[in-house]
Structure 1
């Protein structure tokens, strides 16, 4: 649901505001809101006398609402002067508002508008989650079992069988020491800055609200101060939690993460796919874009080579051939593995961080696999090339330039 709160200052000679300008901007606003998906509710003080339909500004704005298929639900005076200045506007086909109640307010010249929204509470869905309890893993026993069982794997001419046997042994040992567990988790959206303090403050606010509403049935003049204080504490807890979260990000993050956080604060992370009649057409457009890009790069390289050969800048190619690779040493391979990021696919026999933690146990197998592949110059594993890829669009600029 999209909630829009508006306020229009009354025009005067001092502020230079004009009713005609407001009506033009209002028309642009309604056109923009109709393009946003979701239900729409507009609340606010427009300072227009909706109780006088014969006035030009009222007739104009009511015509704009009818064109946009919107309804103004407030029909009683909302001001001490007896006029309808405040509005509650929603689409006529969405049946969003069940009732609208006007209550006099002693603190302002405007009355309080209470709206009851007809909306279903979103049900939380549970999904099964598979995990391993690595915190209960006995590292010494795990390393000992791996070493004893992997020592029995012998290198043969079939490199695929060697890798498959090693993977099966690793999976069996891992299942023995940290078996796969299953649990159902509720898909509940929580912002990253949401903390236990915010949660506790929200529970206290709900408790104070229930207590105040219960007392309100017995005594209409019951004191709402504890409830208002609880609301203030929630707002303060949310503000403090957000400040601490983003301050920590800006303190320890790289420039890339910092710009990402700024875009999140400014709501600039919205990415829209290009227009396409079908998903097949969109996928073909992406494919054509990258294919043409590679073709253009190759053409530029060929043109540079031709230009250099014409000018005599290209030297004669040496009469050498690449016949073999240098084998990898234990220390070089260990250094490479320790520097790779801890990224893991669910198809891997064990997580990358656990491999790096027990690297000395796995090094003989990995070193044998790498050097055997380098010696033969040919490596096509049957199952080692499978992976799971998630979609993540980094930028959609192919429609603009290459």
Structure 2
């Protein structure tokens, strides 16, 4: 029938005929395509952080600061810092508060030891929201703005002597119930001194309380030299912080550094439209002529700032050799886990820390001795070490001519005032 151009047809309501050979399906011409928006819902940022029980950051500040810079840590929670409010120079002049990092501390009141600190890159801003001591643990809460992302970091240190494990779990659960609803992108890090890897009822209660509040604990390896999991990293399961990697780092004290790589959601980012031009359509001779006619000495040249930090004067060749030996011993201990290698690593670590402390003391003592008799040079050295900047006493926002006129008027008026004040005294006549 198709050869004679006769097609099968069937009847349809209303007397109309419908061809059976017509293709069935939606008509794509009727689709309406929505406009694309320039708003990107979210963007992820990689952030690297760490937590460490340093058992006195006063003498290990150079070693810890070097680890932070080599591992490119964005921020870190330090416990058992042993800083004191009565000795502010200990943390103000610390390496953790210099050379690209800024330190914020919450010290144990009226007692020696303990303490929590947050150190972060100077390119980010922090604000301490709260700190204190409960019946069983010390805490500090900071707001950290890093890469245009707001994080809330809570540092925890639990001294074992304050309370039993069951009392700590009860106290921490009650405390955290009020903290979780208040802050977004919350991270809880620190030394809990709780064997999270055992099967006791206290550990089970602790894990159940975290699960009930929508919290996740990420450390699954030994953080103490004794083979226990004591340092924890806890995040909310539904917030914008995703833990990509949690791994052990360098053995600094009797605790390892716990290094964490985060994927943080960065929301409400607007995309921009740029115009481009194909290089094939460019007139090459005319472009070369334009470049030759450019005056490089004009003010239209873009400039950028690059941070160039001078090498530390006490970081000499002997320190470099000790550092290489320390890293070699650390790699051997990490690979084979032999007791002799651990002891070798600890000996080299102590030798390295003492060498840095000795060279730093000698260098600073030499600088102070060279400033003997020159108070201006000595004050400049103290300002350099403490990171303080002297304020310019001269008034700002005034031209040089106006400033000189003000000085002249001041001294002329001062002379007139002195003369006028002399008339108020009684004349003394000689006998």
TM-score category of the 2 structures, normalised to the smaller one: 0.3 to 0.5
Q: Which one has a larger percent helix, Structure 1 or Structure 2?
A: 1
Normalising by structure 2, we get a TM-score of 0.37
Normalising by structure 1, we get a TM-score of 0.39
Q: Which one has a larger percent strand, Structure 1 or Structure 2?
A: 2
